[in-house]
Structure 1
Amino acid sequence: MNDGNQHDLTAAQRRAQDAVRSLTRPAADPDFRARLKQDFMTGALAQQAGQADAAVRKPFRPWMAWAPVATAAVILVMVFVTNPLPAPQVIAVTGEGTVTVDGRTFSAADRDAYAGLLGPGSRLEVAAGASVDILYPGAMVMRVESGSEFDLPGRPGRWIGRRLDGWLKAGEVSIMTEEGFHGNHLAVGTPDGTAVISGTLANVMVNDQVTCICLFEGHLRVESPDADLGNVEAGKRWVLHRDGSAPEYLPIAPPHQEHMEAFAKDRREP
Structure 2
Amino acid sequence: MIDREAENSGDGEPEVLGRIRGLTPPRAEPSFRERLKRDFVSGSVGDRPRGVAISPHRRRPILGWASGLSAAAAVAFLVAALNQPPRWTALPSGGSGNVVVNGLSIPVRETAELTRRIRPGSRIRLESTKELDLVSSGVLAMQLSPGTEMVLPPPPGRWFGRGARANVAGGLLRVTTGRRFHGARLAITTPDATVRVTSTTLAVIAQPAGTCVCVLEGTAHVGPHRGAMTRVRPGSRCEVAHGGQTPKTGDMLDAERPRLVDLRDRMQAVMN
- 1:112 to 2:117 alignment: no
> Is contact 1:89–1:134 with CA below 8 Å preserved after alignment?
yes
> Is contact 2:192–2:243 with CA below 8 Å preserved after alignment?
no
- Give the corresponding residue for 2:32: none
- Give the corresponding residue for 1:93: 93
Query: CA RMSD, aligned part only?
Result: 2.9
- Give the corresponding residue for 2:186: 186
- 1:258 to 2:258 alignment: yes
The amino acid that maps onto 2:75 is I
**1:128-187 Cα deviation digits (max 9, x unpaired):** 522110011221111111110011001320222521111100111111111111222111
2:183 is paired with a residue whose SS is: coil
**1:237-261 Cα deviation digits (max 9, x unpaired):** 2101114363211110222212211
Query: For structure 1, which runs of at least 5 residues remain unmatched after alignment?
Result: 1-45
> Is contact 1:160–1:183 with CA below 8 Å preserved after alignment?
no
TM-score (norm 2): 0.71
> Is contact 2:224–2:245 with CA below 8 Å preserved after alignment?
no
Deviation at 1:67, TM superposition (A): 6.6
**1:18-64 Cα deviation digits (max 9, x unpaired):** xxxxxxxxxxxxxxxxxxxxxxxxxxxx9xxx8xx98xx99463445
- Give the corresponding residue for 1:196: 196
Matches within 5 A, 1:66-145: 71-72=71-72, 74-145=74-145
- Give the corresponding residue for 1:227: 227
In structure 1, how many angstroms separate the alpha carbons of the residues matched to 2:133 and 2:65? 52
The amino acid that maps onto 1:199 is S
> Is contact 1:79–1:159 with CA below 8 Å preserved after alignment?
no
Query: For structure 2, which runs of at least 5 residues remain unmatched after alignment?
Result: 1-50
The amino acid that maps onto 1:256 is E
The amino acid that maps onto 2:116 is G
- Give the corresponding residue for 1:61: 60
The amino acid that maps onto 2:110 is D
Deviation at 1:74, TM superposition (A): 4.5
Q: Give the total of aligned pairs.
A: 221
Distance 1:225 1:73, change over 3 A: same
Distance 1:115 1:72, change over 3 A: closer
Of 257-266 and 74-83, the range deviating more from structure 2: 74-83
State the identity %: 24
- Give the corresponding residue for 2:146: 146
Deviation at 1:80, TM superposition (A): 2.9
In structure 1, how many angstroms separate the alpha carbons of the residues matched to 2:72 and 2:231? 38
> Is contact 1:237–1:250 with CA below 8 Å preserved after alignment?
yes
> Is contact 2:221–2:231 with CA below 8 Å preserved after alignment?
yes
In structure 1, how many angstroms separate the alpha carbons of the residues matched to 2:215 and 2:193? 15
**1:51-108 Cα deviation digits (max 9, x unpaired):** xx98xx9946344578767655543343234322121000131322221111111222
2:199 is paired with a residue whose SS is: strand
- 1:237 to 2:237 alignment: yes
In structure 2, how many angstroms separate the alpha carbons of the residues matched to 1:96 and 1:121? 25
**1:204-238 Cα deviation digits (max 9, x unpaired):** 11111111112211232224222231432111121
Distance 1:247 1:223, change over 3 A: closer
Distance 1:220 1:69, change over 3 A: farther
The amino acid that maps onto 1:195 is V
In structure 1, how many angstroms separate the alpha carbons of the residues matched to 2:71 and 2:111? 44
1:228 is paired with a residue whose SS is: coil
Distance 1:174 1:232, change over 3 A: same
TM-score (norm 1): 0.71
> Is contact 2:95–2:131 with CA below 8 Å preserved after alignment?
yes
In structure 2, how many angstroms separate the alpha carbons of the residues matched to 1:101 and 1:61? 56
In structure 1, how many angstroms separate the alpha carbons of the residues matched to 2:187 and 2:246? 22
